[in-house]
Structure 1
């Protein structure tokens, strides 16, 4: 009996050891190879890849084709699953591997037409252009890795088949990057509903007007006079200006056309915003949200050379958004931050120049309620006549379900976005006019050139090729120049048009008169004040053209402006870090100040009074031990809920919470004691501002006690505000324990410089976006440039570089980025040699 037991135990131990060995072997087959030798076809000479202590590759090649082929190979071995997910998202193919819950996401992106548009663009590219040659070599490197290695863990778990990556994939992903129109989807139905259903008195709290003087106070700013505000025709080239006679004829035809189309179902249209938000949540692919960037000339720095700082604000993901790599070939060198499936860096620097990006936030989307021919439902009104809708059919493959057929339609204005969502949007056709689909948008060429733009003229020319999404390019060079260009194709709309609302396709308001010239975009080069700030705020239009947009609060930009405009400061690495990590703006006081008399009257409980007193004395810092930021953030939500939820249905209110329009509206609401929003429509009583403040305060205290603990000592910001880097598979528990990184108590907050932002709602708050990197480049000492990745360089589970920067990131750490050859040599931890396939093996 004892022998049998020993045999059983031995057998079980043997099986356990065998399973452990098999598991370790399986894990080892998925890990990136960072040392030794690898043979690649199409290489003309060996390429050396030296990895530093954070797994960042420093690639040295004899020519550009080999350089980009090597970049594609090493990028793929760290991020292949990310590449797969983002191409499937952009082309509407997620349900094929993730199942029926992703059908809505696929329907959205198929309806937007990114797949078809990318196919057309790819066919039109010049295969011999330098940008296309670089991209083709990069994709070949990606495909060689995929073909020669076991699939990533996630491919095995989901059953994802391998297939080559193409230029079409890259171009479709560029359409996803232009997905800044999420603001339009959320905001335009909401504002239209407020205007049409509630009335102008309710619309007053929303800041919808263009501010010709700008929104940020600058020292020595030159005011724009009325004569600067020229009509659109004055800044168009002759070829772009629509003939006045033609417009007049179309207007007459319009007057004689059938009756104006009925108003669309605004409430149904609000569902589109929910679909858009759900797409982001389910796909777990990050969205561009905002950003800070500034350039300081040598006259204001300790070193006497320009400094460049940038931290693009993007949705957090795992793996992280950016892949860092240092590229070197004869005549070309760059340290860059790359996105999946793009051979050119979107952020970068070398010893001569560097640049950062922020979102322009210009409105490049119009939602248009099409006017349908009552005698022929397949026709809509366009430029004075009835025109046929284009129709097509697509099929979405669904894992574990039946294929879904889509009947898609397109008007001359753009895709009919309602056609694939009739279950929520109804039959009223609503189209989407989008700059991205209406221009050539040579995005590959734009960033290929920007990667080589060592002069103002070259940087300006590269920026002019960016049509959509709208981006602010903030640039500096070692020679002493600094510059900023708002890069976008700006549509010319009739001056009376307010594109924040859904436009009527039966009216001239939906028509475009062309595009403005790039020289008319907001921009500055070497301003006398010696610095440039870009923080998603409404810029001053240097040509006087009003530029509609969904701009962010100006408070963040004002904080940067106030510090950078201080003539007593000389800028260096340390105080630049301090500014990037600042957690303070004046926004909280703009919201609270008008309410302080009411709050003082309604807060009577001694414990609550102590909380109120700490709020009065708060300096606005969102640091982790601080209690007032928790109280203010909860109170802002409760105030919004008490004041505005009764006028809006559940979906509209949810959309409101996710818009920048609310950020701008709250200070205007609290400052207007007579606003109709204060009255609760669900009661017989007419509520006042004080009544709503009382309700909001009581709800704030009650919720914080329930959610965080009975004592205010439990309400520290770090207890309520946390950052978790979530993997796309983490929604399937218990995989979150395996793949996710965090949670970490997080400083910062929505729209402070350290913009670690969570959606408005009740505590606790999970941070969803923030600085996707923090970069600081001093052109007096480029070899000591610093940056940080929010989580890690690698997307491969169990790789040491999967999460090795996460702890440093959240507390505001910076890491040295090696650029000089001596530093690269001194800090090389592993070396991978990529070699041509021997001739006899080919």
Structure 2
């Protein structure tokens, strides 16, 4: 088949109404298309079910990864191309000069080591897998060049074409791995600079540490010498995900329904004193002082057969990440000789990171080990490329690169590296520099690529061996197998330090890592007596385990979700798949229950406030979308109560720096105010801040408390990266609004929101509950859809199901896949001309 004919055939497959919406429960007769592709060894097929899940069948192991890459491009081309472009520092080439500095910083955190050793770190065939996967992507990209109608609308609007991939791109890009904790070190140093009387007390309120520790400044560090904002901005430029807020030169200008060009918002296009757009205008940044940062976590659990209604283990996982359209997660099913694995991964990576094969199931949450440190250097006044190390001037490694810029000549930039890592910021005036040391920049640390190994394990020993090679990010893995075994282990490289790792340190040689701890120094569980295991990003290292005080990490997520889940799961002697679904959608807020418990002791004579206080006192703490007290509480706790505690405890300048106090610490203070306030002062703080919250709720929802609903404020809106460039009419196409949603960042059904809006920002786009061994009875959901192409029904068809807390089948057997198939894509190796 010639290339031109092949492109026409593919266009028939990927445009129009190829997919049946998820609401249709009766499969259409499976239509089929056949076309030839180069790079395939043997014929293969992709059976697409009515929910948009591709079931890929190949006759060789590497063909299945070729087809996975091809399919990722077919469904998510703009998303994966933008990920690659951002990771490699190639944004300016297609989007213009505003992205030059971001490209420079992205290149600073690329892996730059020995690629031969890098590939070996993941297993013997990792390079071959990545080559096959990227060859599949490239095959589809070449088809779009032959037939531009295949390109998603984003490319046309932005005026550029997708790039071809190299296998190395998969592992060299490191910015997507949920990094921790360099920015927290900077924030803590700022506290030590500005709070003279008791900085430890201020930091205690700012951020919970577990195990409890009083952070200490190391010798030789002046916290007031650190340009915190500049370093954090550089870090964000290196690691944050892009959002497109300014049209590239020559790109199509968005037009509203009236036909007039949409004006760029002044706030978006405002430049700083260096002539650059602010970081927040170009990248989606998760700030350390936001609820979103604490809400970025996950839940997983595994329940042994003795505690289930089926007698088989149940494994559940709902990873929480920033939301957007399309979803970060993509569900796939890979079948080849010796391999049958299904579940979710990230569309720009081969393999499956959350799911199951024939024998085992697996699911992950973040394990917050501290894999970063910020280093400060004295720079030679006579040579800005030298820094002092052990009493001598040591040269930095410098790398010069050209960054292509759309509409302008290429820019030459210089990257500098110390022995510890990339220089993020250098101040020639004070002759100081700051560099990042990060475990995720070392060999074998490409985020999530380690799943290539463990997804092929068939038992706990093989799985544990694979996890012993896992690098980044730190993860809790739960495991179950068809033999009835359940297990848990954390994975990731844990740094050996002689200090607490909670503040920056001088890079003069006094504060060096002592390598990494062996993985078997961390705890693990295998068939525990309790019969179940739960993890939810809390510090789950047992206090009596030797690792508890080894400085693995101190900055974990609040344990509200973990406590609630352990309580309900532990209370159920016999639980079902449906129970796990319900627990993933549980909206009980422990902060709400604890706050309302304190409120029982508080009374008011304010006639406007009294009915609201009484309403809260009768509330059960369930943050449902239709709840009036939930609306009041969320506004109160997130915007006013936490701030009020800080404002009363510290002078205005310090309070402003601390911002929203840690939720756990605020609850500790209002429950036990001794040492902070009298009970009368505590009560007044609660009433004053509640009054502010009620005023905001009245302004937004009206005067009648009976009509207030949390879901009116809290909407499940999935924004496209081009949102700021879209007309109101275009937003209906590219964004997805699933409507009112319950929950918060601290309920098991985590639905975090940001500082400026109560709209959903982060949570579980993907949920999975496995009936281990009876795989076809497993359940799953992704949102807003499987497709990344707004032209397709599959772009948004799963959002209503997800919003209602419902699921779709995760078909695994050939029989069930065939039963639900609505489209079959047949692939043949292209004949040599």
**For the superposition of Structure 1 and Structure 2, which TM-score range results when normalised by the shorter chain?**
0.7 to 0.9
User: Distance in 2 between the 1:708 and 1:270 partners?
Assistant: 40
Partner residue of 1:306?
313
The 8 Å contact of residues 104 and 279 in structure 1, kept in 2 or not, is answered as no
Which of the residues 249, 253, 264 maps onto 2:225? 264
The 8 Å contact of residues 37 and 834 in structure 1, kept in 2 or not, is answered as yes
Query: How many residues matched?
Result: 744
When structure 1 is superposed on structure 2, of 160-169 and 579-588 the one drifting more is 160-169
User: Distance in 2 between the 1:506 and 1:696 partners?
Assistant: 47
Partner residue of 1:470?
474
Normalising by structure 1, what TM-score?
0.81
User: Distance in 1 between the 2:469 and 2:708 partners?
Assistant: 49
User: Distance in 2 between the 1:744 and 1:669 partners?
Assistant: 35
Q: Are residue 135 (structure 1) and residue 130 (structure 2) matched?
A: yes
Secondary structure at the counterpart of residue 533 of structure 1: strand
Q: Are residue 77 (structure 1) and residue 74 (structure 2) matched?
A: yes
Q: Are residue 342 (structure 1) and residue 344 (structure 2) matched?
A: no
If you compute each CA radius of gyration, which structure gives the higher value, 1 or 2?
1
Shift of 1:741: 0.9
Q: Are residue 121 (structure 1) and residue 115 (structure 2) matched?
A: yes
The 8 Å contact of residues 121 and 171 in structure 1, kept in 2 or not, is answered as no
CA RMSD of aligned residues (A): 3.3
Q: Are residue 802 (structure 1) and residue 795 (structure 2) matched?
A: yes
The 8 Å contact of residues 362 and 470 in structure 1, kept in 2 or not, is answered as yes
User: Distance in 2 between the 1:741 and 1:207 partners?
Assistant: 34
Partner residue of 2:375?
368
The 8 Å contact of residues 720 and 765 in structure 1, kept in 2 or not, is answered as yes
Residues 161-180 of structure 1 aligned to structure 2 (within 5 Å):
161-173=161-173, 175-180=174-179
Partner residue of 1:245?
none
When structure 1 is superposed on structure 2, of 800-809 and 534-543 the one drifting more is 534-543
User: Distance in 2 between the 1:402 and 1:30 partners?
Assistant: 40
Partner residue of 1:683?
none
User: Distance in 1 between the 2:200 and 2:698 partners?
Assistant: 38
Partner residue of 1:227?
none
Partner residue of 1:615?
616
Partner residue of 2:808?
815
Q: Are residue 754 (structure 1) and residue 746 (structure 2) matched?
A: no
Which of the residues 532, 546, 556 maps onto 1:543? 546
The 4+ residue runs of structure 1 with deviation greater than 6 A are 25-28, 30-34, 259-262, 285-288, 442-445, 648-652
Secondary structure at the counterpart of residue 575 of structure 1: helix
Residues 780-795 of structure 1 aligned to structure 2 (within 5 Å):
780-795=773-788
Partner residue of 1:520?
521
User: Distance in 1 between the 2:32 and 2:786 partners?
Assistant: 17
CA spacing shift, 1:642–1:267, aligned 2, 3 Å? farther
User: Distance in 1 between the 2:675 and 2:99 partners?
Assistant: 42
Partner residue of 1:449?
453
Normalising by structure 2, what TM-score?
0.82
CA spacing shift, 1:723–1:102, aligned 2, 3 Å? farther
Secondary structure at the counterpart of residue 168 of structure 2: helix
Shift of 1:504: 3.2
The 8 Å contact of residues 773 and 787 in structure 1, kept in 2 or not, is answered as yes
The 8 Å contact of residues 123 and 453 in structure 2, kept in 1 or not, is answered as no
Secondary structure at the counterpart of residue 136 of structure 2: helix
The 8 Å contact of residues 373 and 437 in structure 2, kept in 1 or not, is answered as yes
User: Distance in 2 between the 1:206 and 1:128 partners?
Assistant: 42
User: Distance in 2 between the 1:166 and 1:48 partners?
Assistant: 24
Partner residue of 2:246?
none
Shift of 1:109: 2.1
Secondary structure at the counterpart of residue 418 of structure 1: strand
Q: Are residue 58 (structure 1) and residue 63 (structure 2) matched?
A: no
The 8 Å contact of residues 261 and 371 in structure 1, kept in 2 or not, is answered as no
Q: Identify unmatched segments of 5+ residues in structure 2.
A: 1-10, 20-30, 244-281, 287-292
CA spacing shift, 1:378–1:361, aligned 2, 3 Å? same
User: Distance in 1 between the 2:296 and 2:686 partners?
Assistant: 31
CA offset digits 1:681-709 (Å, max 9, x no partner): xxxxxx95455434322321222122222
CA spacing shift, 1:311–1:444, aligned 2, 3 Å? closer
Residues 263-302 of structure 1 aligned to structure 2 (within 5 Å):
263-265=224-226, 267-268=228-229, 271-272=232-233, 275=236, 282-283=282-283, 289-302=296-309
Secondary structure at the counterpart of residue 432 of structure 2: coil
User: Distance in 2 between the 1:278 and 1:70 partners?
Assistant: 29
The 8 Å contact of residues 118 and 169 in structure 1, kept in 2 or not, is answered as no
Secondary structure at the counterpart of residue 350 of structure 2: coil
The 8 Å contact of residues 130 and 350 in structure 2, kept in 1 or not, is answered as yes
Shift of 1:319: 1.3
Shift of 1:409: 1.9
When structure 1 is superposed on structure 2, of 405-414 and 52-61 the one drifting more is 405-414
User: Distance in 2 between the 1:649 and 1:733 partners?
Assistant: 39
Which of the residues 552, 560, 585 maps onto 2:557? 552
Shift of 1:674: 5.5
Q: Are residue 145 (structure 1) and residue 140 (structure 2) matched?
A: yes
User: Distance in 1 between the 2:623 and 2:607 partners?
Assistant: 25
Secondary structure at the counterpart of residue 39 of structure 1: strand
User: Distance in 2 between the 1:573 and 1:262 partners?
Assistant: 52
Secondary structure at the counterpart of residue 586 of structure 2: coil
Q: Are residue 316 (structure 1) and residue 319 (structure 2) matched?
A: no
The 8 Å contact of residues 206 and 658 in structure 2, kept in 1 or not, is answered as no
CA spacing shift, 1:128–1:307, aligned 2, 3 Å? closer
User: Distance in 2 between the 1:605 and 1:274 partners?
Assistant: 48
CA offset digits 1:462-515 (Å, max 9, x no partner): 111111211111111111111211101100111xx222222233473x321121
User: Distance in 2 between the 1:581 and 1:426 partners?
Assistant: 53
Secondary structure at the counterpart of residue 408 of structure 1: strand
Shift of 1:305: 1.3
Secondary structure at the counterpart of residue 225 of structure 2: coil
User: Distance in 2 between the 1:385 and 1:350 partners?
Assistant: 55
Which of the residues 36, 42, 49 maps onto 2:39? 42
Residues 422-433 of structure 1 aligned to structure 2 (within 5 Å):
428-433=432-437
Shift of 1:189: 2.0
User: Distance in 1 between the 2:751 and 2:143 partners?
Assistant: 39
Q: Are residue 826 (structure 1) and residue 826 (structure 2) matched?
A: no
CA spacing shift, 1:212–1:485, aligned 2, 3 Å? farther
Partner residue of 2:567?
562
User: Distance in 2 between the 1:413 and 1:768 partners?
Assistant: 34
Partner residue of 1:200?
200
